[in-house]
Every structure is written in C-alpha cells, then in structure tokens.
A and B are shown apart, each in its own frame.
Chain A
Amino acid sequence: MIRLTQIRKSFGRNEVLKGIDLTVRKGEVVAILGPSGSGKTTLLRCINYLERPSDGEIEIGELRVKCKHPSKQEIHRLRGKSAMVFQQYNLFKHKTAAENVMEGLVVVQKVPKEEARKRSVELLEKVGLGAKLDAYPSQLSGGQQQRVGIARALALNPEVILFDEPTSALDPELVGEVLAVIRKIAKEGITMIIVTHEMNFAQEVANRVVFMDQGAVVEEGAPNELFRSPKEERTRQFLQRMTPEAVYSI
C-alpha cells in the first residue's frame, strides 16, 4: 500500500503541491487527471524522490519516510520500491533494449547477469519487443521505446509503477500499442499510478480516478461516478474540455 500524507512542494515561492493526501491499495490502478501545471508530474516525482517534497510523509509498504529530513538511505530505499515510466521515455541511450531492462536488476538488485538477461528477454517479449532485444533506443520508434521503458519498470518488481503521461509524447498512431501494454499489466494486479490525458483509457483501466487542480486533489472516486457525475464544478469543466475529440486533437 502507498499512503501519501500532506505532501507539499514549493519551487521558490511557488507552492506547487498544497498538501496532497492519497492512498493507493495494493493492486489498485489509480489515474490522476488534471489540467497542465496542476502538479501531477511533481507529485509522481515526489513519490520516488526525483523531487524533494518540502513537507509531508510517504509510506510505501513497510517503509515510512518523513519528507522533511529524510536520510540518504531512506531516499534510496524509497526509490527501490517504486519505478517510473517517463513521458520522454528516458531510456539509457548507450544501452540496448535488453540492457536497459537488465540494468536495474544487475546494478541495484545484484541479480546475476544471465538470470537478468533471461528476465529481460521475457519482459521484452511480453511488451511485444522480442525482436528488438539488441536495438539501441535511437533505432526504436517512440512507442517501442516507451514499451521498453515499461519493461524496465516491470523488471524491478516494484511495489508501485508510476506513469507520467506515458503516451503524450507519442504520434497518435503509436498511442494504442503502449496503452495496450499498460492495460495488459494492469490486469495482472500490479499497483499503478497513471497520470494521463487519455480519458477513455483512464475510465477503462483505472479502479479509481483522482482529479487534481492547482496543487490540490479536488475530487476522487470510481471512474464511472467521476466521469458521469462529477461533484465539483472544476472537475465538470475539465472533463467537458477533454471530450474524446479534443483528446485526439492534442
């Protein structure tokens, strides 16, 4: 289980997260929606400490970290419990697809190379890239790179995988293949937090939807409730703007 308590983050005087509370149960898929600049990326980055929260508490599994004065070791352990799929993929440029997936296993989890390679091949096959094991990121399409990114996250066997708009940097025709992979792993009971602008996808794949605006959680609920009958005016306005036509024109 992941529990965020009163997470705050400021950049200088700009308070970007204004005390976020969020609980994600094991195996749950939570979609985070919200207008651009509302702090979604910052929130995900805080969960694995790519961004240092100004205040609050992060609890993942047995680990509980007070954000004000975390030790190096706590940060390290926290990062070990989550994995991130980035908007810009961020695959290791100088490593092949298979090496990208192996890297964390070998370097961080000290899995023997052969075993890591085997696991890497399995995962790449699972995301449909069994034929691209030895390709470098520069030789892959955006959709393929993002699928490697997902395999890399899966390899770590984390408590939670954080997705930051995993399809928004992709050409429209490549979005489907990535969503299909995420859909597939969502069914396997992996805990996921997904920031997305794909409304249909969020509705279909998420157990719960959280709507954020201006650094705060405005409303959360089951997808059907939230999409059909949002309680808050801000949510309603946002959903209206994000009709499927609008989504695809982005």
Chain B
Amino acid sequence: MKLDPAFIWTAFIELLSAIPTTLEIAGVSVLCGILIGTAVALVRIYRVPVLHPIASAYVTFIRGTPMLTHLLLILFGLPMLIDAVAESLGIPFRSVSIPMIGFVYISFSITEGAYMSEVVRSGMLAVNRGQIEAAYAVGMTTPQALRRIVFPQAFAAALPNLSNSAIGMLHATTLAFAASVVDINAKAQIVAATNWKFFEAYLAAALLFWGLTFLIERLTALLEKRINSYNRGGVA
C-alpha cells in the first residue's frame, strides 16, 4: 500500500470534531486533579492524623499502577459498587444510566490527583518558610496565609511541572478508547476503518496532538511570564 498524503489532510479535518471530547477529558481531569492533589498535598504536609497514611497510600498505589488499569478497575468496579449501594438504600438509580465518559472523568481525575499532589507539594515546599511566618505575624489564619501568600507563590513555582503534567494528561486521554469514548485517537481509527489507511489517520492524530501540546506550552510560557514578573525584577 502506498502513502496517500491527501488522506492525511482529509483525516485531519475529520479529527477536528473529536477535539472537544479530548480537551474535555483532559480539562476535567487536570482541574479535578489539581483539587485532589492540593487536598492530598496539604494532608501530607500538615501530617493530618488518620488522613495522612491514607493519602500516602493513595499516591503510592496510583503511581505504582498503570493508568489503563485504573480506568478498567473503575469501569468494572464502580458500577457494581453504585448498584449495590443504590439497592441497599432502596433507590431506583442504576449505574447503566451513567454515561461512559463519566467513568473516564472519575478514573482520570483519580490518576491525575496522585501525580498533581506531588507537583503541588514540591511547589509548596519551594515557598520560603519566612513567607508563611510573615503572614502569621500580620495576623492571618492558616487558610488565609495559604490562600493569599503560599498558594500564589507555590503556583508560580509549580507551573512548569503543572504544565508537563497537563500535557501528559492530554496524551493519556487516548486511553479513553477502553471506555468506548471517541477521542482524537479513537476517531482516527474510525476514520481509517473505511479504507484501511491507518498510518495516514494516526499521523494526522499525531500532528493534531502536537499542535495542542504546542498551544499548552505557549500558554504556559505566557502565564509564566506574567506571574513570575515579581521574581525577575521585570515590571515597574
């Protein structure tokens, strides 16, 4: 079979329709991942009793197992759990009414939360201890000090890692095919199925992912320039 350059373009155009799904999965997982990750990081940094060992176990387990495995466990385990709980409570709700992409969101958020917790943690540890002490000294409570002083600086410090993690998640959305969700990659497969030009279709998908990644990198660079201006003596 010979390469069909024209079909790369055709496939590329077809793939555009899958961009929203891919971005939604990546966006939801990264956002929820940051929330979960921040909570987990706080629990570990402040060594909250009871929760602390649980948080550590969560991070170790998730980072020690493949993401596809998480998805499969959620896909097959969570419906059982939901149905059992619903039944014992006498609620008529059944898990079949949950769209598959819902399980993808849940699973990927759990995965991303573990990785993000490390990103957030190292960002927070990069903030000088004197900063939170100064916040306490002006009378702030711990939540105020975290929100006003520590998080903004931790975010600036963590931004490169955060961006890397988000890019990793963008690429990992291809695993959603296991839940029959049509992301860019699954769409490429569908597009090629009619004429068996898989190489052209996957190449188009690769180009599309590359473009999206490039966008994220540019966005990060812009953001970095903005929020880090205080460090470099820029502004003023």
A residues contacting B by CB (< 8 A) are: 48-50, 76, 79-80, 82-84, 86, 88, 90-95, 103-104, 107-109, 134-139, 152, 156
Contacts and interface: CB of A to CB of B under 8 A. Distances in A.
Interface in B66-114: none
Given A88-B130, A92-B149, A93-B153, A50 B137 contact: yes
A82 B230 CA distance: 28
Determine which residue in B133, B153, B232 has the highest number of CB atoms from chain A within 10 A of its CB, and name it: B133
Nearest to B149: A92
Nearest to A87: B130
Nearest to A50: B133
Contacts of B139: 76, 79-80, 104, 108-109, 156
Nearest to A149: B134
Given A104-B140, A108-B140, A138-B233, A94 B130 contact: no
Contacts, number: 78
Contacts of A109: 139
Contact of B236 (A80, A103, A139): A139
B236 A79 contact: no
Nearest to B155: A94
B138 A108 contact: yes
16 contacts: A50-B133, A50-B136, A76-B141, A83-B137, A86-B134, A90-B130, A90-B133, A90-B137, A91-B134, A92-B131, A93-B131, A95-B230, A104-B139, A107-B148, A108-B140, A137-B230
B30 to A, nearest CB: 23
A92 B152 CA distance: 11
Nearest to B148: A107
Contacts of A108: 138-140, 144
A94 B156 contact: yes
A90 B144 contact: no
A83 to B, nearest CB: 6
B231 A93 contact: yes
A86 B134 CA distance: 8
Given A90-B133, A92-B149, A136-B236, A104 B230 contact: no
Interface of B: 128, 130-131, 133-141, 144, 148-149, 152-153, 156, 227, 229-233, 235-236
A138 B153 contact: no
Q: By DSSP majority rule, is chain B's interface helix, strand, loop, or mixed?
A: helix
A46 to B, nearest CB: 13
Given A136-B233, A138-B231, A139-B233, 10 more contacts: A50-B136, A82-B137, A86-B134, A90-B130, A92-B135, A92-B149, A104-B138, A108-B140, A138-B230, A156-B139
A107 B236 contact: no
Contacts of B152: 94
Contacts of B233: 136, 138-139
9 tightest Cβ-Cβ pairs between the two chains A and B: A104-B138, A90-B130, A90-B134, A84-B137, A108-B139, A136-B230, A80-B139, A139-B233, A94-B230
Contacts of A82: 137
B114 to A, nearest CB: 28
Contacts of A90: 128, 130-131, 133-134, 137
Nearest to B230: A136
Contacts of B227: 94
B148 A48 contact: no
A179 B229 CA distance: 31
A48 B149 contact: no
A93 to B, nearest CB: 6
B231 A107 contact: no
Contacts of B144: 107-108
Nearest to B141: A76
A49 B149 CA distance: 19
Contacts of B130: 86, 88, 90
A1 to B, nearest CB: 20
Determine which residue in B144, B149, B230 has the highest number of CB atoms from chain A within 10 A of its CB, and name it: B230
A94 B150 CA distance: 10
B153 A94 contact: yes
Determine which residue in B134, B141, B152, B231 has the highest number of CB atoms from chain A within 10 A of its CB, and name it: B134
